Amino acid sequence: DDDDDDDASPTRLAGVRRAARTGALGEAKVARLRGMGATLKPLEHRWDEGLRLVAAFKRREGHARVPRNYTDPETGVPLAAWLAQQKRDARSGGLSEARRAHLVELGALPADVTDAARRRGV
């Protein structure tokens, strides 16, 4: 183990993330870093956070129809923009089936989003 694990410089963190993606870090080190709160896959973390916020919105409002320009008041995350991007990705086929299924289950996406987009010529 390195003595400088606590060095959170952007360059070091990028190197650690790259090593984690390629499998160069041992499982114990990855577990230790996660235990310290390190986010090794920041884009995945942002997606998970967006999904969590849509679920919280649905619990609070009774539906997942996030209003245009809505920003989560607690986190400052522009949830409407995040959800609009997920919808664009789903229409273009760029959203994984697992992610699409989560959004469909919450009612944030129609089950046939890609078919509906094709019918409209999107």
114, pLDDT greater than 60:
no
What CA–CA distances, in Å, run from 78 to 34, 104, 117?
26, 20, 24
**CA atoms within 13 Å, Cβ hemisphere of 105:** 9
What is the mean pLDDT of the segment spanning 36-48?
70
CA–CA separation, 13 vs 9, rounded Å? 6
**Tens of pLDDT, residues 55-90:** 999 999 999 999 999 999 999 999 999 999 999 999
30, pLDDT greater than 80:
no
Supply the pTM of this predicted model. Answer: 0.62
Angle between helices 10-22 and 27-35 (to 10 degrees): 140
What is the mean pLDDT of the segment spanning 13-18?
73
Average pLDDT, the chain: 81
What is the mean pLDDT of the segment spanning 79-102?
94
Q: Choose from 14-23, 74-83, 112-121 the range with maximum mean pLDDT.
A: 74-83
- Higher pLDDT among residues 5 and 100, named by residue: 100
Nearest to 10 by CA among 36, 37, 29, 38: 38
Q: What is the pLDDT of residue 39?
A: 64
20, pLDDT greater than 80:
no
